[in-house]
C-alpha cells in the first residue's frame, strides 16, 4: 500500500466527513447555543484515510463541541444519577494560542480560559504539565536502560519519542516492527493525564471513573485518534481515559458562537489535582515549541551515563530547520547523538536511513507537525487552512517566555510515585504510565513502501 502522506496536502483534495448526528435526546434548544456541524478534514491530521478504519472515523467525528454540550445538557436534567463530573485538561501548547490570539499574558489566558469553561458548566479545569512531567521522567529512565542494554538487545537503540499520536499512528499502521520496537513505551502526556484524572483524581473524589467525563484541549486533531486507542480503555468501568478531545480552535468556535470575548471573561484560577489548592503561574519544559523530550533526555543521559552536566544545548540544523541534531563529546569521541525530526518529510527520511542501516542517532524526538506542537493544525491555521505565520511567531514568543521547571523539581510528582504508584520501579508504574506499540496488519509490501 502506498502511503498517501507522501503527497502534499495541497496536491490532493481533502476528504471530509460530517460528525454523526446525536440521537440522545439532548439536542433541543436551551441556554446552550446549538453548534454548527463542524467538519474535520482528514488532511488536518497525519492519520489520513489510508490509516483510519471507518469505525475509527465515525468515532473521531463524534469528538466535537456537540459532545461537550451533550454532557452539559445532560447535567442540566433532574436525574442526578446520570450526571457526570466534567473535567477539562489543557495542553501547555494550547495556552500560547489563546494568549497570542487575544493579546493576553499566558497566565491571564489560562485563568480566563478556565473562567470561560466553568461558566459553561465545567467542574474542574487542569493543566497537563504534570502529566508531561511523568512522561518525560519515564522516557529519561527508559532511554538510560535502553542505552545500557544496547549491546545485548538489537532494537534497544535508537529510541523514538512516543508523545506524538500522528507519528505513532503512522509507525503502527504503515511501518513495521523494525520501527515500532524502537518507540519509547512511556505514554504521552495526554494519556497520562487520562490516568491521573480517571485514576488518581477519581480515587481522591471517591468517584467511579465512568462518572467523570474527561475532555482534553489540544493543538492538533491527532489527539482525537489517540484517545480512542484500546489500550487506553478500562473495560471494568466501560470508560476511556480521555472521553473527548477538542482542539484550541474548536474552543474558540464555542466562544464565537456564544459571542464571548476572552477579555470579558472573569479570571478563575486553574484547579490542581491536590486537595483544594490552585495552580500558580504557568510553567513549561525545555524545548522551543513542544515538551522538550530531546533536551530533558539528553541532559539526563549525559549526567547518568557520562557524568557530564550539560547546561545549554546547541542545535545543529541539517537539511532544514525541522531536522536538527545535538551531540555530546567526551575525550574526543561522540558518545551521544540525538536528533529532532519534525514534519512528515523528515520522518520519511529518518525511517529510510533506519531501514538502510545508516542510522547514527541514539534518540530522536519525532513530531508530525513541522515546527512542533505549537504549529498543530487545530490552532495555528487561518480560515482558509493555511499556516498563520504571524500568529505562530507570537505563540513562539509567548511560549519561550514561560519559566521552565524541571520534571524532577515537581514535588507532587515525587510524592505520587510513592503514594499512588507504589514506588518508581513498581508494577503499577508500568501499568499506569507505559503502553506497547506494535505494527498493525503487517504485509510484505510494508517493507517496500514507495516514497
pLDDT tens, 376-397? Answer: 888 877 777 777 889 999 999 9
Residues 177 and 233 in one domain: no
- pTM, two decimal places: 0.87
Q: In a 3-state reduction of DSSP, which class is residue 16?
A: strand
What is residue 173's predicted lDDT score, i.e. its pLDDT?
Answer: 82
Listed in sequence order, the DSSP H helices in 205-342 are 222-227, 248-257, 293-306
Residue 367 lies in a domain: yes
Do 106 and 140 fall into the same domain? Answer: no
Structural domain of 356? 136-187+285-433
Q: Which of 208, 247, 210 is nearest to 225 (CA)?
A: 247
Q: Quick: pLDDT tens for 226-262.
A: 888 887 777 656 778 999 999 999 999 999 999 998 8
Residue 273 in any domain: the answer is no
Q: How many domains does the chain have?
A: 2
> Mean pLDDT, to the nearest integer, of 299-306?
96
Res 296: pLDDT: 95
User: What gap in Å lies between CA 96 and CA 396, rounded to an integer?
Assistant: 8
CA angle, residues 110, 115, 120, in degrees to nearest 5: 130
Whole-number mean pLDDT of the chain?
83
User: Within a 10 A sphere around the Cβ of 172, how many other Cβ atoms?
Assistant: 21
Residue 351: inside a domain, yes or no? yes
In a domain, 438, yes or no: no
Residue 33 in any domain: the answer is: no
Which tens digits make up the pLDDT trace of 388-446? 889 999 999 999 999 999 999 999 999 999 999 999 999 999 999 999 988 876 443 33
Do 103 and 173 sit in the same domain of this protein? no
Q: What is the CATH number of the domain that holds 222?
A: 3.40.50.1780
Mean pLDDT of 23-41: 42
Distance CA 42, CA 58 (A): 12
Mean pLDDT of 115-144: 96
SS3 23: coil
Q: pLDDT band at residue 34, thresholds of 50, 70 and 90?
A: very low
Residue 370 has pLDDT above 80, yes or no: yes
Alpha helices per DSSP H over 121-210: 129-148, 165-173, 177-180, 189-195, 202-204
Cα distance between residue 205 and residue 195, in whole Å: 14
What is the rounded distance in angstroms from the CA atom of residue 11 to the CA atom of residue 4?
Answer: 11
Contact indicator for 220, 166 with CB cutoff of 8 Å: yes
Domain boundary among 258, 276, 293: 258
Residue 249 resides in a domain? yes
> How many C-beta neighbours within 10 Å does residue 51 have?
22
Amino acid at each position: 500500500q502506498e502511503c498517501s502522506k507522501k503527497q502534499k496536502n495541497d496536491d490532493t483534495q481533502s476528504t471530509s466527513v460530517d460528525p454523526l448526528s446525536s440521537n440522545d435526546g439532548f439536542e433541543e434548544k436551551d441556554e446552550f447555543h446549538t453548534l454548527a456541524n463542524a467538519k474535520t478534514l482528514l488532511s488536518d491530521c497525519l492519520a489520513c484515510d489510508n490509516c483510519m478504519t471507518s469505525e475509527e472515523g465515525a468515532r473521531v467525528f463524534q469528538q466535537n463541541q456537540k459532545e461537550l454540550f451533550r454532557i452539559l445538557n445532560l447535567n442540566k436534567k433532574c436525574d442526578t444519577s446520570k450526571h457526570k463530573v466534567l473535567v477539562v485538561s489543557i495542553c501547555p501548547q494550547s495556552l500560547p494560542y489563546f494568549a497570542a490570539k487575544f493579546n493576553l499574558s499566558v497566565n491571564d489566558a489560562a485563568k480566563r480560559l478556565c473562567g470561560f469553561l466553568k461558566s459553561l458548566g465545567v467542574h474542574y479545569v487542569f493543566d497537563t504539565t504534570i502529566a508531561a512531567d511523568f512522561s518525560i521522567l519515564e522516557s529519561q529512565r527508559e532511554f538510560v536502560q535502553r542505552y545500557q542494554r544496547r549491546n545485548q538487545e538489537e532494537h534497544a537503540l535508537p529510541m523514538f519519542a512516543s508523545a506524538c499520536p500522528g507519528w505513532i499512528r503512522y509507525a503502527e499502521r504503515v511501518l513495521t516492527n523494525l520501527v515500532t520496537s524502537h518507540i519509547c513505551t512511556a505514554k504521552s502526556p495526554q494519556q497520562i493525564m487520562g490516568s491521573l484524572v480517571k485514576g488518581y483524581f477519581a480515587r481522591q473524589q471517591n468517584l467511579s471513573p465512568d462518572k467523570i467525563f474527561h475532555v482534553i484541549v489540544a493543538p492538533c486533531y491527532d489527539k482525537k485518534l489517540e484517545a480512542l486507542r484500546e489500550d487506553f480503555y478500562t473495560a471494568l468501568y466501560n470508560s476511556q481515559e480521555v472521553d473527548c478531545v477538542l482542539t484550541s480552535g474548536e474552543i474558540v468556535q464555542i466562544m464565537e458562537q456564544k459571542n464571548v470575548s476572552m477579555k470579558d471573561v472573569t479570571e478563575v484560577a486553574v484547579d490542581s489535582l491536590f486537595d483544594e489548592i490552585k495552580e500558580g503561574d504557568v510553567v513549561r519544559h525545555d524545548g522551543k515549541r513542544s515538551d522538550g523530550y530531546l533536551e530533558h533526555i539528553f541532559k539526563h543521559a549525559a549526567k547518568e551515563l557520562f557524568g557530564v552536566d550539560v547546561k545549554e544545548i546547541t542545535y545543529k540544523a541539517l537539511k532544514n530547520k525541522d531536522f536538527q541534531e545535538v551531540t555530546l563529546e567526551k575525550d574526543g569521541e561522540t558518545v551521544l547523538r540525538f536528533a529532532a525530526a519534525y514534519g512528515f518529510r523528515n520522518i520519511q527520511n529518518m525511517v529510510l536511513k533506519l531501514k538502510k542501516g545508516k542510522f547514527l542517532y541514539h534518540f530522536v524526538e519525532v513530531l508530525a507537525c513541522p515546527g512542533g506542537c505549537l504549529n498543530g493544525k487545530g490552532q495555528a491555521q487561518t480560515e482558509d487552512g493555511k499556516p498563520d505565520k504571524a500568529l505562530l511567531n507570537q505563540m513562539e514568543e509567548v511560549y519561550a517566555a514561560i519559566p521552565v521547571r524541571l520534571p524532577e523539581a515537581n514535588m507532587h510528582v515525587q510524592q505520587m510515585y510513592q503514594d499512588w504508584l507504589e514506588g518508581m520501579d513498581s508494577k503499577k508504574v508500568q501499568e499506569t504510565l507505559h503502553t506497547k506499540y506494535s505494527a498493525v496488519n503487517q504485509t510484505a509490501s510494508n517493507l517496500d513502501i514507495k516514497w
